[in-house]
Amino acid sequence: MSLFDKFRGLFSSDMAIDLGTANTLVYVKGRGIILSEPSVVAYHVKDGVKKVLAVGEDAKLMLGRTPGSIEAIRPMREGVIADFDTAEEMIKHFIRKVHKRSTFSKPKIIVCVPHGATPVEKRAIRQSVLSAGARRAGLIAEPIAAAIGAGMPITDPTGNMVVDIGGGTTEVAVLSLGDIVYARSIRVGGDRMDEAIISYLRRQQNLLVGETTAERIKTSIGTARMPDDGRGTSMQIRGRDLLNGVPKEIEVTQAQIAEALAEPVQQICEAVMTALETTPPDLAADIVDRGVMLTGGGALLGDLDLALREQTGLAVSIADESLNCVALGTGKALEFEKQLRHAIDYDS
């Protein structure tokens, strides 16, 4: 990047947003990713009037711990907007946070959307971004953004397979010549894994834990395969005993969490198998050579690459910055808009 480009980047307000179910990342043209915060908004409700109290990291700390007058909301569900007004407030807040100046030229914003999003869901995202102050709102399919962010040569005439496991959805796609040959979006992701852990502990241990605890268990000892010793590492967790209603502490092992996560992991494996069965033979041959690339926060689940390798027999690798791949790819689409304009939709 030349000095002039860097200088121009300082004054550019165009940005790319990875509006995720769990986290929102903002990439500013010429400057890279400069914001990564949870997709949560906390409101203070008084006499039926809502006032924004906190957004992002501060609001996430309030999840599951709020009094009656405060509500913490996650406006994104399964990769799309579930609460229109809250999403708009969140996007506005993040735009203001990125541009510390209160007055700035209206930015052009590119947002990634799940491949399976309906036209209505796409319109809601576009409308939210425009209402939050964008000059123009473009949409890019999440699998394309993830593959670009992972550094895959998607513009070549060869088959590339990417599996992007986000908070709300898993996108499985085969790409060639810069576009999608086959894609499937399943509504299984990090959130579904958390729910699986919560329901497993309720069933097997009579212990009720919240979403925050379930997420901590998943990131600390979560694994997609049964540990070799049948137990694995363990951790202490606290929750409410459902038998007598009092708080208690128990120990959970990796083997138990592997059992809890078996169903969502199997659904991801099945989606990959279906994609491989549907891929044209020549592209399938390329995928045997190149293997499968995992991106997204869910790719960090322990041994998920090994579980997929066992099912498919293919080489499976995890992208270097798997958490940021979609945001980086959306940012690159903004930087190299001319070359990738076929992938960006400005007017649906």
Q: Quick one: pLDDT band at residue 104, thresholds 50, 70, 90? A: low
Domain that holds residue 166: 145-188+264-324
169 annotated to bind ligand: yes
Range in 2-11, 54-63, 115-124 the model is least confident about = 2-11
299 annotated to bind ligand: yes
* Residue 302 and residue 208 share a domain: no
* Residue 270 and residue 125 share a domain: no
Cβ atoms < 10 Å from Cβ of 210? 15
298 annotated to bind ligand: yes
Last residue of a domain, one of 245, 261, 277: 261
CA angle, 320 then 326 then 330, to 5°: 125
| pLDDT tens digits, one per residue of 173-182 | 888 887 888 8
64 annotated to bind ligand: no
Average pLDDT of 24-51? 84
* Residue 16 and residue 133 share a domain: yes
260 annotated to bind ligand: no
216 annotated to bind ligand: yes
| 241 vs 79: which has the higher pLDDT | 241
* Residue 318 and residue 178 share a domain: yes
271 annotated to bind ligand: no
Does residue 80 sit within a domain? Answer: yes
218 annotated to bind ligand: yes
* Residue 118 and residue 231 share a domain: no
Q: Quick one: pLDDT band at residue 7, thresholds 50, 70, 90? A: very low
Does residue 332 sit within a domain? Answer: no
101 annotated to bind ligand: no
* Residue 273 and residue 238 share a domain: no
Helix 325-335 vs helix 142-149: angle between axes, to the nearest 10 degrees? 90
* Residue 26 and residue 111 share a domain: yes
Does residue 55 sit within a domain? Answer: no
* Residue 135 and residue 153 share a domain: no
Rounded to whole angstroms, the Cα distance separating 337 from 295 reads 22
Coil/strand/helix, residue 184: strand
Q: Quick one: pLDDT band at residue 2, thresholds 50, 70, 90? A: very low
Could you give the number of structural domains in the chain?
Answer: 3
Does residue 61 sit within a domain? Answer: no
